[in-house]
Amino acid sequence: MKLAGQVALVTGAGRGLGRAYALHLAKLGANVVINDIRMDVADEFNEPLMAPTVMDEVRLLDRQSLGIVADVTDKAQVEAMIDQILAEFGRLDILVNNAGGHLAPGERSWASSMPPEDLKKIMDINLTGTIYCCQAASRPMKERRYGRIVNVGSLAGLRATSGQGSHYSIAKAAIHHYTRSLAAELGQF
């Protein structure tokens, strides 16, 4: 229960890894805010839940949970999400930036020919969303002089490969560098 009383936000937590991060944080004692662009996304991927929603799964672990539908690529929605968390819980201790993914067909993700709209979409959902969430969450964390930010990267961002997935690799590489820059800036807080 080393996180007892703390409040965590996990983006992209309606299913998959985000859900796993949220449940793990709850098992460690944190109250968990679940963010996703849709709360029924587990149904789309036929991912079974132990309760009707991920928020209900967290509540089964005797933790408080709040679900917030917000698009992390929209700065106003991200700011409103952080404001809602602060209004509901009075604090934000942990941010896990999980929202993202490789959401374009392989044939449209070659470095030499990826369409601009696919590049923008993948950069927005992976990198821009991470930046917006870090900026919004760092405000209350700096004020309290406490907070933890975890940005989910990928091995794809650490090595170059030829072929499909270039935009995803570029976005994850940028997240790795952004995270190092953010740590250098916020470490004093």
**Which of 21, 132, 146, 168 is labelled catalytic?**
168
Distance, in Å, from the CA atom of 94 to the CA atom of 150, rounded to the nearest integer, reads 8
Question: Crossing angle, helix 129-144 and helix 75-89, to 10 degrees?
Answer: 30
Q: Is 132 among the residues known to form the active site?
A: no
Distance, in Å, from the CA atom of 24 to the CA atom of 27, rounded to the nearest integer, reads 5
Q: Among 35, 38, 15, 148, which residue's Cα sits nearest to residue 88?
A: 35
DSSP code, position 108 = G
Residues known to be catalytic:
168
